[in-house]
A and B are shown apart, each in its own frame.
Chain A
Amino acid sequence: MKFQIPIGPQHPALKEPISLRMTVEGEVIRDADIRLGYNHRGLEKLAEEKTWIQNIYLTERICGICSHSHATCFVQGVEKLMEVVPPKRGLYIRYLVAELERVHSHLLWLGVAGHEAGFDSFFMYTWRDREVVMDLLEMVSGNRVHYAINTLGGVRRDLDAGQKAKILEGVAVLRKRSEYYFRIGASEPSFVARIAGVGRLSKGQAESLCAVGPTARASGITRDVRKDDPCAVYDEMDFEVGTADSGDVLGRVVVRVKELLESYKIIEQIIRKLPEGPIAVRAPRKAKPGEAVSRYEAPRGENMHYIKSNGSEKPERLKVRAPTLANYPATIEMLRNGFIADIPLIFAAIDPCICCAERVVTLVDVRSGEEMAVRLSDLRRRAAGRGPNALPKRNAAWPL
């Protein structure tokens, strides 16, 4: 017999409103359905009524965590349309903030993963460390969340020598802390056992379902816009794309820890190579008719804006694709044949940003409704048939 369990839009286990309907058979999830729109803001429509400059601040408010990602993706595209080339120093500062933001987002996520796995001291450690990078962001931009550092043709604030030194100091502290996280699995087997084998997504599934970001990289796909389509400064930086092969929540933790260390590398290179010169050039008020596709690697995955201009001071069309939306079809696969108790963990593992994608998931327990006598052997067979996502993992090892 199968049941449908609705989870959300309002649910104590969810941090943001989303509606999931799970079809469950006992404790095992057989199917999941996502319904979006509970909190739809109609932002793409609104963008058509605003000028190019106003839209920077509108896109920045798409997300409260990766706010800089959307604003950067938008200005990259509009600068192409306006044929404005920002000065080098401006670009370096823009992507410095981008990498600092990635660090804060990944530290936040590691804490959430620890919390969902019942490892709350890890959560408190990472969130304490996150304050270091939040303070750096506040020092650079004046704000902890909406940095508002982007403008068309460059950035709005410069860096001085004291700030550069403080950033390097902060990064040194964070690197030491992250190296501790890098080894944490070796000393915390219970954490590894909780996350290994949960929410499995094979490489083939990740490819066909168009997963992005750490979710795809944890399944062995080396897809990273910073490498594949390097915008502005990334082709001058030396860094690697962190991947894992296990395709489970453990892999997603591993990928994010690796990315933290790569981000510190990029930040130090940016500070060291920061060129002299102006930070912005003047941009025109109107853009020529045309279209641009702008891609950017946000902390959660590829962010994509399609911008069409009609020659006026407002966009004809702005399409925003946030990474969370791209990961939903894959999430449904991860949930399938897993346990109800794993839902928060699996769902948290894609680092969902509901305000970006703004959609819902429902849990459904599906039973036929017929009563029947079941022999013990049948039950055992059913238990064995829970599927590959729910295999026991007593011997899971920390891969780092």
Chain B
Amino acid sequence: MSDSDIIQGLEKDLGGKALELANPDRRRVFLKVAPADLLAVVTLLRDRYDCAYLATISGVDKGETLEVVYHFASRAANINVRTEVAKASPHVGTICPVIPGAILYERELQDMFGLVIDGLPDPRPLVTPDDWPAGSFPLRKDWKYERPEERIPGGKS
């Protein structure tokens, strides 16, 4: 399946659901969908475009919104599905029912970007420690690391 076949096929199958569809480079397809359509599009990619393999999910902080990019790969191409949600209500549905291997990536997104993945089978924190302050999301642009003041036990304060 060549890149143009994939683009044409996606145009036909998705119709109005594809908000953006681009092929910037060989074997790279970028597709943008609304969060509500995500699960349907992922199911379509898995069943018709041989994209059962999810390479990873990236989050991007775009100021007012958060972008989530799902990187799928088949033997023919690398299909990247992106969706955008407002930071004020960062809810995205889980894709675990379709792609069970997505669980760790989705849990990581929750920890790092403060996205809320609705319907996640196991929503515990994955990378942040147990005593991590709530509402603190390291990969958001407004998060800055401040080194805590060093205190030597028994030393002069």
Q: A210-B53, A321-B56, A326-B55 are in contact. List 7 more A-B contacts (CB 8 A).
A: A207-B53, A291-B30, A292-B25, A306-B58, A326-B56, A358-B127, A359-B104
Q: Are B80 and A308 in contact (CB under 8 A)?
A: no
Tell me if A328 is interfacial: C-beta within 8 Å of chain B: yes
Shortest CB-to-CB span from B109 to chain A, Å, is 11
Q: When each residue 263-300 of chain A gets 1 if its CB lies under 8 Å from chain B and 0 otherwise, what string results?
A: 00000000000000000000000000011110100000
Q: Are A317 and B25 in contact (CB under 8 A)?
A: no
Q: 3 closest Cβ contacts across the A-B interface?
A: A210-B101, A321-B56, A319-B58
Q: Which of B71, B102, B125 has the most CB of A within 10 A?
A: B71
Q: Are A209 and B100 in contact (CB under 8 A)?
A: yes
Q: Are B103 and A329 in contact (CB under 8 A)?
A: yes
Q: Are A36 and B73 in contact (CB under 8 A)?
A: no
Closest to B46 in A: A208
**Which residues of B have CB within 8 Å of A45?**
138-139, 143, 145
Tell me if A80 is interfacial: C-beta within 8 Å of chain B: yes
Chain A, 293-333, CB within 8 A of any chain B CB: 293, 295, 302, 304, 306, 308, 316-317, 319, 321, 325-326, 328-330
Tell me if B99 is interfacial: C-beta within 8 Å of chain A: yes
CA distance A290 to B139 in the complex (A): 19
Chain B interface, number of residues (Cβ within 8 angstroms): 36
**Which residues of B have CB within 8 Å of A290?**
24
Q: Are A207 and B75 in contact (CB under 8 A)?
A: no
28 residue pairs A–B, Cβ–Cβ below 8 Å: A36-B126, A37-B125, A37-B126, A37-B127, A37-B128, A45-B139, A45-B145, A80-B25, A208-B52, A208-B101, A210-B52, A229-B73, A229-B78, A293-B80, A306-B71, A316-B60, A317-B58, A317-B61, A319-B56, A321-B56, A321-B105, A325-B56, A325-B104, A326-B55, A329-B100, A329-B101, A329-B103, A359-B126
Tell me if A44 is interfacial: C-beta within 8 Å of chain B: yes
Interface residues on A, range: 35 or more
CA distance A33 to B55 in the complex (A): 21
**Which residues of A have CB within 8 Å of B104?**
34, 325, 328-329, 359
Tell me if B28 is interfacial: C-beta within 8 Å of chain A: yes
Tell me if A35 is interfacial: C-beta within 8 Å of chain B: yes
Shortest CB-to-CB span from B66 to chain A, Å, is 11
> Which residues of A come within 8 Å of B, CB atoms?
34-37, 40, 42, 44-45, 80, 207-211, 223, 228-229, 290-293, 295, 302, 304, 306, 308, 316-317, 319, 321, 325-326, 328-330, 358-359
**Which residues of B have CB within 8 Å of A228?**
73, 75
CA distance A330 to B104 in the complex (A): 11
CA distance A307 to B65 in the complex (A): 18
CA distance A35 to B73 in the complex (A): 27
Shortest CB-to-CB span from B22 to chain A, Å, is 10
Closest to A80 in B: B25
**Which residues of B have CB within 8 Å of A304?**
55-56, 71
**Which residues of B have CB within 8 Å of A316?**
60
**Which residues of A have CB within 8 Å of B60?**
308, 316-317
Tell me if B38 is interfacial: C-beta within 8 Å of chain A: no
Q: When each residue 60-90 of chain B gets 1 if its CB lies under 8 Å from chain A and 0 otherwise, what string results?
A: 1100000001010101001010000000000
Q: Which of A37, A80, A328 has the most CB of B within 10 A?
A: A37
Q: Are B28 and A36 in contact (CB under 8 A)?
A: no
CA distance A302 to B53 in the complex (A): 11
**Which residues of A have CB within 8 Å of B53?**
207, 210, 223
**Known contacts A210-B54, A302-B55, A329-B101, A293 near B138 by CB under 8 Å:** no
CA distance A278 to B60 in the complex (A): 37
CA distance A36 to B108 in the complex (A): 10
CA distance A35 to B130 in the complex (A): 10
Q: Are A295 and B78 in contact (CB under 8 A)?
A: yes
Shortest CB-to-CB span from A357 to chain B, Å, is 9
**Which residues of B have CB within 8 Å of A34?**
104
Q: Are A208 and B99 in contact (CB under 8 A)?
A: yes
Shortest CB-to-CB span from A69 to chain B, Å, is 15
Q: Are A42 and B145 in contact (CB under 8 A)?
A: yes
Q: Are A295 and B145 in contact (CB under 8 A)?
A: no
